[in-house]
Structure formats: structure tokens, C-alpha cells
A = this chain, B = another copy of it.
Amino acid sequence: MSDEQTHAHEHEHHHGYISDKARYLRRLSRIEGQVRGISRMVDEDQYCIDILTQISALSSALEGVAVALLDDHLKHCVREAIEAGGDTIDAKLAEASNAIARLVRS
């Protein structure tokens, strides 16, 4: 996994949630650790039920990140789009609704 990305979009616009970026990265890093923990449990033939318990915890952690991102998205991107007015509002709202629908159903 070579993560050497040159972060080349310096001038690009930032997507609102940036203020909390460090917090998101910490949460995701913990989630990555949880996945590795589950791999280890499988590799060590640990008891299925215990593995499932960890997967449920991981799912909840992931939902937490998704819900926080959606919250940030509404508070920043959607709000800004509406405040700016113009014809992208409908598209922005439809996009948010579709993301919500996918999350509710996943």
C-alpha cells in the first residue's frame, strides 16, 4: 500500500469537514486496527461468535464515521450551496438524499 500521494490538488476547494480531519483520520485508523484484529482472530481460529462481536463493533464504528461525515456535509457543503443559491441546489440535495439512502440500506 504505497500511500505516497502527492496531494496535488492544492488549489482545489476543501470539503468542509477539513476542520475535523485529524479526528476522522484517528477514527479510521482505529477502524483499520479493528479490521486487522479481526483478521488475526480468523487466522488464529478464534471462536466465530467472538469474531462476529468484533464485526458488529466495527460496523457501528463505521456507521459513526458515516453519520459524522453526513452531518458535516449537510452543515457545510449543502448549507453553502443553498446559501449561494443557483441551480446546483437541487442536485446537491438529491446527492445527499441518495447518500443517505445508500447508508440506511447498507
Chain A contact residues, CB within 8 Å of chain B: 1, 3, 5, 7, 9, 12-18, 21, 24-25, 28-29, 31-33, 35-36, 38-40, 42-49, 51-53, 55-60, 62-63, 65-67, 69-75, 77-79, 82-83, 89-90, 93-97, 99-106
Chain B residues with CB under 8 A of A43: 7, 21, 25
> Are A47 and B93 in touch, CB under 8 angstroms?
no
> Are B71 and A5 in touch, CB under 8 angstroms?
no
* Oligomer copy total: 4
Q: List 24 A-B contacts (CB under 8 A).
A: A1-B90, A9-B44, A9-B45, A12-B45, A17-B48, A24-B42, A25-B39, A32-B39, A48-B77, A52-B103, A55-B62, A63-B104, A63-B105, A70-B97, A71-B100, A74-B96, A75-B93, A79-B89, A79-B93, A82-B82, A82-B83, A100-B103, A100-B104, A105-B105
